[in-house]
Structure 1
Amino acid sequence: MRLNTPHGSNALHIATRGRIRVAIVDDHPAILLGLSSMLSEDEMLEVVGTLRNGLELKRADFRDGADVFLLDLRMPGMSSVECIRLIQERWPSSHILLISSFEVDGEIMQALEAGASGFIGKNADQSEIVAAIRKVHTGAQRLPSVLARRIAEHNQRDALSRRELEVLRGVAKGLTSREIAARMGLSEYTVRNHVNSILSKLQVRDRTEAAVLAIRKGLVPPEE
């Protein structure tokens, strides 16, 4: 079933029982039309509405919402984070899948922290987008492997304190705890405690693994 929602309309239709109800929020009319047409070809999906931006989403008065909101990462009027919070407040059982032509880690991470369930690029083919919608509908998170890895690395970096990162730089240079302590003006005991904390946070067994991981994942510059 295809829904040709006029631009600016707030009306959304109730889906056929058993189908995944999808609402699309994107400020590009061609994208709205293309996604709506494409998703309507899948018998397990029901496009229940299309909205051009967060302001239209804010004015929407549909009662049942959608199982999955396909939400553009960048739109005028309201940010994706604001849209996510609005959806969570008004339709708390819905899941949110971000879609964008851009992969800006910081923006995606903010949206995920706000409550989005995943991300997919607009250049993905029909089967990938449908599979992503189905996955987030189950409550699972859906992220491209490369993006998931970058976010994991970012989280590891954020998990280390500024002092731990400084100690890690010394470890990556091959310095002993005594040498690191002398450079940082700390006791050797304190440095050892920092090293133990670093090993635990990075989930590695020893200093060598920590050094290799730190350089490979960019936690410290390779030239150091």
Structure 2
Amino acid sequence: MAADQTPQGQTMQTSSENGEIKHQEREQRAFAPITIVIADDHPLLRYGLVSLLAGHADVAVVGEAANGREALDLCTALQPDVVLMDLQMPVLSGFDAIEAIKRISPETHILVVTTFDGDGHIARALKAGATGYLLKASLRTELHAAIRATHHGQRYLAAEAAMALAHRFDERDVAPREREVLRLVGQGNSNKQVAREMGITEETVKCHMKTILSKLGANDRTHAVAIAIRRGIIDL
């Protein structure tokens, strides 16, 4: 029996042949286009993204999703290289979709594409597992470069996003308990109602609000809520 055959007469591959096959597979992957899923609830925005990418031979849009659940289903089936992810979508938010996608498809990198430039939104998206963060205003000039960087696992932040994060690190973070107070105040609750809801005293609520005003540089509680919403510290 020949040394390179199995007892059943099937040809066996040598270690050098296996190495050559793996080398060829790596080369094929290197030259293959970057597969992309677009997740945004606005059809015109999805159409615009497809149009922007149509002129680039190194990328291929393989699926479109109108909400976070559809994005998760597509990633489960297709295992794309990159997802262009909006944050505010129905059924399943972009934040929740990012976390879920990273669990079922760890090799998929996520580039957030959004209008939200608040440091809270950015920090939350990166914590959820996003690799990059791009503002929709910069799509025409930065999209392709952002996709390529994200595909290679490199952190990509729009200039505005990087500045917002730098500003965030220069400030004292709003604690989770303080965020809950802000959320309840933003829903129109009085200090007494907030205290009852959280199981604390009204005096404690007042102390929290004083600290919050100082941290956010706000003039009053209404101003504090407005700042927190703009920065993505709370969602109402």
Structure 2 Cα separation of the partners of residues 129 and 21 of structure 1: 14
Which residue is 2:59 aligned to?
45
- State the identity as a percent: 34
1:26 to 16, 40, 47: 40
CA 1:152–1:219: 2 relative to 1, 3 Å: farther
Whether contact under 8 Å (2:134, 2:146) holds in the other structure is: yes
Q: Secondary structure at the match of 1:63?
A: helix
Structure 2 Cα separation of the partners of residues 73 and 61 of structure 1: 16
2:88 to 52, 74, 87: 74
Whether contact under 8 Å (1:97, 1:120) holds in the other structure is: yes
Q: How far is the alpha carbon of 1:64 from its aligned partner?
A: 3.5
Rg larger in structure: 2
Structure 2 Cα separation of the partners of residues 28 and 114 of structure 1: 23
Whether contact under 8 Å (2:75, 2:101) holds in the other structure is: no
Q: How far is the alpha carbon of 1:19 from its aligned partner?
A: 0.9
Q: Secondary structure at the match of 2:110?
A: strand
Q: Deviations along 1:112-134, whole A, 9 cap, x unmatched?
A: 11111111111224341111111
Within-5 A mapping of 1:37-116:
37-60=51-74, 63-116=77-130
The one-letter amino acid of 2:89's match is M
Higher helix share: 2
Which residue is 1:171 aligned to?
none
The number of residue pairs the alignment matches comes to 151
In the alignment, structure 1 segments of 5+ residues that lack a partner are: 1-14, 162-217
CA 1:61–1:132: 2 relative to 1, 3 Å: closer
Structure 2 Cα separation of the partners of residues 59 and 134 of structure 1: 23
Whether contact under 8 Å (1:95, 1:116) holds in the other structure is: yes
Task: Indicate the larger mover: 52-61 or 142-151.
Answer: 52-61
Q: Secondary structure at the match of 1:124?
A: helix
* TM-score of the two chains, using structure 1 as the length reference: 0.60
Whether contact under 8 Å (1:36, 1:50) holds in the other structure is: no
Which residue is 2:164 aligned to?
150
Q: Secondary structure at the match of 1:60?
A: helix
Structure 1 Cα separation of the partners of residues 77 and 31 of structure 2: 15
In the alignment, structure 2 segments of 5+ residues that lack a partner are: 1-28, 176-213, 218-236
Which residue is 1:128 aligned to?
142
Q: Deviations along 1:150-178, whole A, 9 cap, x unmatched?
A: 2123124348x9xxxxxxxxxxxxxxxxx
